[in-house]
Amino acid sequence: MAQPQGIHARRAALRLLDAILRRGETLDIAFSGATREVRKFEDKALARAIASEVLRWMVDIDALIDSATKKPLPHDAKARMVLRMMLAQWLRLGTPPHAVVATGLDLLAGGPRRLAHGVFSTLTRNAASLPDAPTLPEEAAMRWGERAPAIAAGLAEPPPLDLTLRDPAETEHWKVQLSADSLMPGHLRLPRGENVESLPGFAEGAWWVQDLAASLPARLLGQGEGRHVLDLCAAPGGKSLQLAAQGWHVTALDISKRRLDLLKTNFERTGLKAGTVRADALKWEPKHQFDAILLDAPCTATGTARRHPDVLHRIGARQVEEMAALQSALLQRALGWLKPGGTLVYATCSLEQAEGEGQVTAIALPLAQITQDELPARLAPTEEGWLRTDPGMLPKEGGLDGFFVARWTKA
């Protein structure tokens, strides 16, 4: 019997969700293995889209499923997982119900197909719908407190595609070439779904993919004028590329060979230069001090939930505590490698207070306050002089990731 068209993408999405929700893998790490047997780029993209929408809206989708069953399905039941996928395709991706049924029920061969069909039919017949913004998992909502509603609103849609230009002076040129918007010099914003490698400017290294918020920490170090900067935990290299383009002599350090190889590939494509060091930053000792250090520290990455909604379900208090301890240790080491008069920028793509504001109090250096004119329009530093961005900010422009950034000067 011929298999339904698109079944390979759905099976891959099911494997992807199982890896994330049952084994605790990240979306990016699980994606390669889950889609190994999927050949078409479009099918791989569909598998990721289905899984991402399930993760983004899972609390609300589960509520719909429970409203149509007499007895709640176990949280990890395969029938519930398949129904999540079916509802995500119908309510979020616009897949017609008959196509959803044709591919969804096939995933339950030998299982409760009649149950799943009945639940889905009931919900479609009753014109079920999702709220305007996803309901956050309870633990995440509690951690984010009063910011939670705005953050949730910012997670309703996947993000647009942001690019950072090698030469900010060419912003207007590339805006025209790519039919893009721009929120500040050196930044471009395109609709999501673009095939990056086929876009003008990719082959010649005129730009690289980087969320607007992720581009701000390196910008806050200004022009290098040949001075030496250490980019700690540098891979995959977006900030190192920025620093090199800003005229810094860059040392890019990371512990991962695979990620450093990706960094080197990006430098080759753009024609920029940096020295690379593969080492554990908690053990490594430099031969000299640096004029500036950028520490974009390992973190829970909850600020990237727009494109990585797995963090909504994988991250809890234990992971936050572990990351905060690592960040504190890295900050203390970085302080000793900074020249007098040098600048340290600390950043995390996290929404957690412990990974941002909680780290500032332990630093004895005077804060070099971030100013309004260093930021895109409609973003502002806090009264304390650091920067906190949330996915709910700049909604009319397409939003941005959640970041914390602080800057100090060594006396």
What amino acid positions are annotated as catalytic residues? 349
Q: Which of 350, 386, 347, 392 is nearest to 368 (CA)?
A: 386
Phi, psi at residue 356, to the nearest 5°?
Answer: -130, -95
Other CB atoms within a 10 A radius of the CB of residue 269 amount to: 15
CA 368 to CA 362: how far, in whole Å? 15
Contact 251, 228 (CB under 8 A): yes
Q: Which two tokens stand for residue 381?
A: 């530093």
Q: Which two tokens stand for residue 76?
A: 């990890």
Residues facing 296 on adjacent strands = 347
Q: Which two tokens stand for residue 318?
A: 């234990």
Non-local (6+) Cβ contacts of 85 within 8 A are 10, 13, 14, 17, 50, 51, 54, 104, 107
Burial 229-266 (b: 16+ CB within 10 A, else e): bbbbbbbbbbbbbbbbbbebbbbbbbbeeebbeebeeb
Q: Which two tokens stand for residue 166?
A: 């090698």
278 sits in which H/E element: strand 275-278
Other CB atoms within a 10 A radius of the CB of residue 203 amount to: 10
CA 252 to CA 278: how far, in whole Å? 9
Task: Return the axis-axis angle of helices 97-104 and 7-21, rounded to nearest 10°.
Answer: 70
Q: Which two tokens stand for residue 294?
A: 């950028």
Q: Which amino acid is at 376?
A: P
